[in-house]
């Protein structure tokens, strides 16, 4: 087994998705903090490893992979003793991939990043209500997807890791109504029971929420 290093920061949902995967696989790894606010991700050394300047970044010996979804899939394929987290069955894998594309395009890019970036990096003090309304759509979709204990079925997969990292972050813009979304509430409780959940996701999600709230943004019509 090679030396694994993960570059990221706890407040980053994609970083947390990878941390959940590393913990689930019980893999030893080095965790390297990247300060986005000091633009360390644009430094010469980091840019050579990841020209897209994003976090997380996985280093496995001399190989580099970025994008949390690619990282999670790679880790399971290479190091897992079974395929439960990322099934080899084509239909089951397609369901997991479908959910990760949903997280990437609809949840992270379509809702979370559009709300977070103006506040954190451009000093915006207000957010339009119509943009925040996208969060409701996200909750509606995830509630509908949860026909079983986990998003892709009865088994925990990396799709759950991907989506829990963003769902536990996006509530800073529109709090999850547990009564309106009982399936999401139960799903979150199941994930919080994982012995590594708090270290890998809970702590960082709290940091994310605290950071956003410190900016004192308001939502306007």
- Sketch the domain layout of the chain as residue ranges: 4-79, 90-219
CATH 3.40.50.300 is the classification of domain 90-219 = no
Q: Are 201 and 166 in contact (CB under 8 A)?
A: no
Closest by CA to 71, choosing from 122, 124, 29, is 29
Residues 6+ apart with CB under 8 A from 60: 2, 3, 4, 74, 78
pTM (two decimals) = 0.97
Same fold, 4-79 and 90-219: no
For the segment 21-63, what is each residue's pLDDT rounded down to a tens digit? 999 999 999 999 999 999 999 999 999 999 999 999 999 999 9
The DSSP string of 94-123 is HHHHHHHHHIIIIIIIIIIHHHHHHHHHH-
For the segment 71-103, what is each residue's pLDDT rounded down to a tens digit? 999 999 999 999 999 999 999 999 999 999 999
**Distances from the Cα of 158 to the Cα of 1, 97, 100, 188, angstroms:** 21, 9, 8, 14
**Cα R_g (the chain), whole angstroms:** 17
Q: Cα dihedral sign for 156, 157, 159, 163? A: positive
Looking at domain 4-79, which CATH architecture does it have? Answer: 3-Layer(aba) Sandwich (3.40)
Residue 1: predicted pLDDT:
78
Phi/psi at 156 (nearest 5 deg)?
Answer: -60, 135
Which band of pLDDT confidence, cut at 50, 70 and 90, is reported for residue 2? confident
39: which DSSP letter?
Answer: T
């Amino acid at each position: 087994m090679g030396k694994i290093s993960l570059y990221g920061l706890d407040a980053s949902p994609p970083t947390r998705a990878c941390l959940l995967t590393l913990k689930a696989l019980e893999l030893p790894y080095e965790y390297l903090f990247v300060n986005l606010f000091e633009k360390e991700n644009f430094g010469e050394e980091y840019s050579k490893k990841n020209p897209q300047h994003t976090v997380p970044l996985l280093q496995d010996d001399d190989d580099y992979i970025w994008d949390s979804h690619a990282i999670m899939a790679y880790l399971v394929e290479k190091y897992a003793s079974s395929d439960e987290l990322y099934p080899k069955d084509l239909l089951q894998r397609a369901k997991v991939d479908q959910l990760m594309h949903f997280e990437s395009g609809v949840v992270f890019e379509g809702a979370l990043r559009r709300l977070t970036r103006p506040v954190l990096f451009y000093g915006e003090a207000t957010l339009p209500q119509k943009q925040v309304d996208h969060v409701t759509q996200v909750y509606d979709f995830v509630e509908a997807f949860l026909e079983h204990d986990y998003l892709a079925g009865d088994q925990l997969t990396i799709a759950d890791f991907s989506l829990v990292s963003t769902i536990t972050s996006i509530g800073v813009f529109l709090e999850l109504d547990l009564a309106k979304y009982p399936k999401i509430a139960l799903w979150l409780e199941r994930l919080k029971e994982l012995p590594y959940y708090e270290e890998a996701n809970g702590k960082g999600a709290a940091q994310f929420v605290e950071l956003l709230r410190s900016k004192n943004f308001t939502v306007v019509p």
